[in-house]
Structure 1
Amino acid sequence: MTWIKFALWVLGIYTSYYAALICWDFLRTNRGGTANDKHELTFVEDIHPVKSLVEETGSGKESSIAFSGGVSLKQLFNLAREESVEYIKSVSF
């Protein structure tokens, strides 16, 4: 048996297998009543709002974090140069 014959046999077997699966799927499901069937997922959760502890304690200035927002890449390098952020080693991808 040559490689071309082997490849053709494997291709034929896979094609017939997947064709049989597709035909079985079409025969197994009833495609006639799709207009009336509506399959829709709905999720209902009973969640009640809870008052946060941060609102109760005040302004939250007791933390040692001075700024918690995002910074641009240029600002990040400036912070690393000023040693405001912990810069350990270079990042390799």
Structure 2
Amino acid sequence: MTWLKFALWLLSIYTIYYVALIFWDNLRNNRGETGSDKYELTFVEDIHPVKSLVEEITGSGKESPVAFSGGVSLKQLFNLAREESVEYIKSVSF
């Protein structure tokens, strides 16, 4: 027996096995009935929107000590560390 014959036999055995599994699954579960809602899951969320009170508590936001929020480049980060605008734990070599 050559490797080619062995591979073909192995492929045919796996094919027959998986076709038999699919056939058995279709016989066991009659999936042709699509009108049946017996196993349909539905989720209902009872959520109502609520007005946020953040604007009322903080005001217009102009009195915040934060100058800007967002990403900075690495050069800007080192400049902020030199000016002691950011708090860092380990020493940074400039």
Q: Same fold (TM over 0.5)?
A: yes
Question: Which aligned runs of 4 or more in structure 1 are off by greater than 2 angstroms?
Answer: 31-34, 38-42, 45-53, 65-68
Pair 1:65–1:51, CA change in 2 (3 A): farther
1:75 matched residue in structure 2: none
Determine if the alignment matches structure 1 residue 86 to structure 2 residue 81: no
Cα distance in 2 for partners of 1:59, 1:28 equals 65
Larger Rg: 2
TM-score by length of 1: 0.56
Question: How many residues were matched structurally?
Answer: 72
C-alpha distance 40-13 of structure 1, shift in aligned 2 (>3 A): same
Inter-CA distance 20–4: structure 2 relative to 1 (3 Å threshold)? same
Return the alpha-carbon distance in structure 1 between the equivalents of residues 69 and 32 of structure 2. Answer: 61
The alignment's C-alpha RMSD in Å is: 2.8
Q: Secondary structure of the residue that 1:43 maps to in structure 2?
A: coil
Aligned to 2:30: 30
1:17 aligns with 2:17: yes
Q: TM-score, normalised by structure 2?
A: 0.56
Greater RCO, 1 or 2 (C-alpha within 8 Å, sep 6+)? 2
Shift of 1:52: 2.7
Structure 2 spans left out of the alignment, 5+ residues: 76-94
- The change in CA–CA distance for 1:44 and 1:31 in structure 2 (over 3 A counts) is closer
Structure 1 64/9 Cα, relative in aligned 2: closer, same or farther at 3 Å? same
Runs (5+) with no aligned partner, structure 1: 69-83, 89-93
